[in-house]
A and B are shown apart, each in its own frame.
Chain A
Amino acid sequence: GAGVSQSPSNKVTEKGKDVELRCDPISGHTALYWYRQSLGQGLEFLIYFQGNSAPDKSGLPSDRFSAERTGGSVSTLTIQRTQQEDSAVYLCASSSPDGRYGYTFGSGTRLTVV
């Protein structure tokens, strides 16, 4: 596609429920990244996929968080048993393998846990 698409744009969920966030990267981009941004804060790295390599999961804050990337394209970030501190904007980005052309970000999913 022309850009990185994230869905849903907004999600309100009850504490304890599971949520799935979707990212559709730019076609041909082999690298895909998930970040989390709390209100007015910087970007917190979550997970990084690069082609067929094992993902870099070093940023996932707990075992309630997981992500997969099917067929080297669409990625899903899953948060199990959501907590109020999970409320944030979840941003997805994609790039060429070495990122030399920059990283293209989606508009994000705003997650609110009530």
Chain B
Amino acid sequence: AQSVAQPEDQVNVAEGNPLTVKCTYSVSGNPYLFWYVQYPNRGLQFLLKYITGDNLVKGSYGFEAEFNKSQTSFHLKKPSALVSDSALYFCAVSAPSGGSYRPTFGRGTSLIVHP
């Protein structure tokens, strides 16, 4: 069975500092990996994905993530945080399993960027 772990319930960072939101996963076979962001009272918005190719993927709003197969990780990063980045972030993984591409989402990490 596939699984995703987001070990931090909350990440606090000062505006202008780099941020990292951690994600590790477990699947059989090659994973598809995703990051989503959820602002208060809104649905989930797509940030970026890794399907194949370069391990470093760039996405919306200046975010990027690095696929590390040996560590089974897909951490979300941004060089300089903004207060407006404060939101709930979800990592997700999917992989073919009997023909199912159902994604599994992590519990979410609340990112708080302080002015």
Residue ranges of A at the interface with B (Cβ–Cβ < 8 Å): 31, 33, 35, 41-43, 45, 48, 50, 53, 56, 91, 93, 95, 97-108
Contacts and interface: CB of A to CB of B under 8 A. Distances in A.
B70 to A, nearest CB: 23
Interface string B79-115: 0000000000010101010011111111110000000
Interface of B: 32, 34, 36, 42-46, 49, 51, 90, 92, 94, 96, 99-108
23 contacts: A33-B102, A41-B108, A42-B105, A43-B90, A50-B100, A53-B99, A56-B100, A56-B102, A91-B44, A93-B44, A98-B101, A99-B94, A99-B103, A100-B32, A102-B46, A102-B49, A103-B36, A103-B46, A104-B46, A105-B36, A105-B43, A107-B43, A108-B43
A43 B44 CA distance: 10
A29 to B, nearest CB: 12
Nearest to A100: B51
Given A43-B44, A95-B101, A101-B49, 13 more contacts: A35-B105, A41-B107, A42-B105, A42-B108, A48-B102, A50-B101, A97-B101, A99-B103, A100-B51, A103-B46, A103-B92, A105-B36, A105-B44
Nearest to B102: A48
SS class of chain B's interface: helix, strand, loop or mixed? strand
A42 B90 contact: yes
| Best-surrounded residue of B103, B105, B107 (most CB of chain A within 10 A) | B103
Contacts of B32: 98-100
| Best-surrounded residue of B42, B43, B90, B107 (most CB of chain A within 10 A) | B43
A91 B102 CA distance: 15
B48 to A, nearest CB: 9
Nearest to B106: A42
A106 B103 CA distance: 16
B44 A45 contact: no
B90 A91 contact: no
B96 A98 contact: yes
A105 B34 CA distance: 13
